[in-house]
Structure 1
Amino acid sequence: MRKPRNRRRRSRAVLAGLTAAAVLGVTGCDAVGGDAPSPSGSGERRASPTPTPDWDTTPRSIAAVGDSITRGFDACTVLSDCPEVSWATGSSPEVDSLAVRLLGRSRAASHSWNYAVTGARMADLPGQMARAAARRPELVTVMAGANDACRASADAMTPVADFRADFADALRTLRRSAPKAQVYVASVPNLMRLWSQGRTSPLGRQVWKLGICPSMLGDAEALDAAARLRRSTVHQRVEAYNRVLREVCAKDRYCRFDGGAVFEYRFGVAQLSQWDWFHPSVDGQARLAEIAYRTVTARETPS
């Protein structure tokens, strides 16, 4: 009988901490999605792989930009970044980050840098990219866009035209200082998949009520027409963002999009944070590292 009491105490502690954070305005809104096939947007596939000119599958230094996913937010402790488990540059052997897989553990410690910021949107990427470019990295990883969809309402989401302009500006910023740096771009996760996974958890629903991605996760149990339309609108915006990432990246000689792999990956409960049922867990970070490594080391651009 002691284990149930312990779980109740732990649940109350988690909710208390998250409530305090909500009062202070700490949100960290971004997410991980799944690999259920999508009929449009990032789920679309080209007929055949396309060679990437001059792509080097063995870069010797890595810089990461993006949001809380790349910072390992809520993966280790509640309401905290945990960059050591970052899929891109982390040192944890439980994750085997992209940097560790490409550079080796010792070199990764001195030749990888994480400039991602929890809560960042695409508009923040040019500034991050300028800091990354100063390192003259051979590879830059990009994972951003979930916070552009995770707003107070569907109407508050970043317009697609602005998202496109900000991403293009970020790449131009990089090119001014690092004209031949390679860029790996991860697709925006499937937020609809995340909602479908977490909505069955009573504690998860309580945590979401504190303000985590309200455009998708608000009123998580509601299945009326208005709620379905709101979630569908957010889902379609995520698909539009992924089309932008694909199209803008395709115009850059040294850019490689993941082909929608992160969007399509079927993240389950084990891959989500035990603190918020939203950000990747340590296991989820490892899955992101696998996707990135497979994309970066492939001989051809993913279809």
Structure 2
Amino acid sequence: MRGRKRFSSRSRAAAVVITAALSAGCSAGGPAADATRPAAAEPRPKPRPLWNTSPASVAAVGDSITRAFDACTVLADCPEVSWATGTDTAVDSLALRLLGPEKVAGRSWNLARTGARMAELPGQMALAAERRPELVTVMMGANDACRDRAELMTPVDDFRASFTAALARLRAGAPKAQVYVSSVPDLKRLWATGRVEPMGRQVWKLGICASMLKDAEDLGPAAERRRARVRERVVAYNRVLQEVCAKDSRCRYDGGAVFGFAFDGGLLSPWDWFHPSRDGQARLAEIAYRQVTRE
């Protein structure tokens, strides 16, 4: 027929397909509609925190403070009143609070040693790893500063190397164990507390922490410089504990809580005016529990 353009059967079929596609896109929310409509976000599972505030077992490493030396009797350990793993309900140790009295004996281990310095910590950590604890407490460093002379204090680099190695030893055997690290106590504050007590001054003459406590009544420039040097070393040790711990996602430093705590006369051993008494151990347990259970 003249004057009218004719369509081939192939053209008519293509037109039908295009029309159907456009109709489906408009009426059924096809690609044209999806381009302007935000996709619904799929719910994501809440990530589990790495730090467990209710560990089911505790291993303690460290020195005489964790062994509760001089807390019950003179010149003797008294681990039953240890702040970390003790069974004495009056102290209410960290392990008692976390595990309860029925489990503390079988699910906690005190591996600390009176007189230990940081160089010994890798060995203690290896022993702790064998128990596969969910939490390891660390309180170490006072003996590295408490030497016969300030010149004998552990160098900071050596302190760092030993602490780093200790965490590595733990991770080799117990990669998921949490670690609570206590700061080293402020030894100069202990000196300021005990020096006004006649018994304290007398006992310190036997050589307890001589780098800090020697000649407790001497306020001359040389003695003050010596004490300041020891305190600066303790501050440096605590900085190492904080920095090394921060590199481990399952390690928690106490933020200087023990270093900043004021141990008065009633919280110090009546036999040496240096180690925590039974009440002092209870205060350490309170500090540790707050840090371990903090969300």
* Bin of the TM-score, shorter chain as denominator length: 0.7 to 0.9
Q: Does 1:107 align with 2:103?
A: yes
* Residue of structure 2 aligned with 1:270, choices 266, 270, 277: 266
1:27-42 to 2 correspondences below 5 Å: none
Q: Tell me the equivalent position of 2:156.
A: 160
**Does 1 or 2 have the higher relative contact order (CA < 8 Å, sep 6+)?**
1
Q: Deviations over 1:83-129 (max 9, x none)?
A: 00000000001100000000111111110000000000000001111
Q: Which amino acid aligns with 2:147?
A: R
Offset of residue 203 of structure 1: 1.6
Counterpart of 2:103 in 1: which secondary structure? helix
**Per-residue deviation, 1:208:** 0.3
- Aligned runs of 1:158-197 on 2, under 5 Å? 158-197=154-193
What is residue 132 of structure 2 aligned with on the other side?
136
**Which 5+ residue runs of structure 2 have no aligned equivalent?**
1-47
**Matching residue of 2:248:** 252
Question: Is the counterpart of residue 291 in structure 1 residue 287 in structure 2?
Answer: yes
Query: Which amino acid in the other structure matches residue 193 of structure 2?
Result: Q
Give the CA RMSD over aligned residues: 0.9
Deviation at residue 170 of structure 1 after TM alignment: 0.3
**Partners of 1:289 and 1:206 in 2: CA distance:** 29
Q: Which of the numbers 29, 39, 62 marks the counterpart of 2:58? A: 62
Q: Give secondary structure in 1 for the equivalent of 2:66.
A: helix
Larger Rg: 2
Q: Give, in whole Å, the separation in 2 of the partners of 1:296 and 1:131.
A: 22
Alignment of 1:49-88 (within 5 A): 54-88=50-84
Deviation at 1:253, TM superposition (A): 1.0
Aligned twin of 2:8: none
Scaled by the length of structure 2, what TM-score is found? 0.83
Distance 1:63 1:125 in 2: 13
Q: 2: distance between equivalents of 1:81 and 1:260?
A: 26
How many pairs align?
248
Amino acid at match of 1:90: G
Letter in 2 for 1:86: S
Deviation at 1:53, TM superposition (A): 5.0
Dislocated runs of 4+, deviation >3 Å: none
Contact preservation (8 Å) 1:207, 1:276: yes
The 3-state SS of whatever aligns with 2:272 is coil
TM-score, L = length of structure 1? 0.81
Q: Specify the SS of the correspondent of 1:140.
A: strand
Does 2:225 correspond to 1:239? no
For 1:105 and 1:269, locate their aligned partners in 2 and report how far apart those are by CA, in whole Å.
Answer: 30
Aligned equivalents of 1:133 and 1:122: distance in 2? 17
Q: Is the 8 A contact 1:183 1:256 kept in 2?
A: yes
Q: Which residue of 1 aligns with 2:195?
A: 199
The CA distance in 2 between the partners of 1:101 and 1:56, in whole Å, is 15
Partner residue in 2 for 1:117:
113
**What amino acid is the match of 1:264?**
G
Matching residue's letter, 1:119: G
Which runs of 5 or more residues in structure 1 are unaligned?
Answer: 1-51
Separation in 1, partners of 2:265, 2:280: 9
Task: Please say if 1:92 is aligned against 2:102.
Answer: no
SS at 1:141 equivalent: strand
Q: Does the alignment pair 1:230 with 2:193?
A: no
Deviations 1:117-157 (A, max 9, x none): 00000000011111111000000000000000000111100
Deviation of residue 201 (structure 1)?
1.1
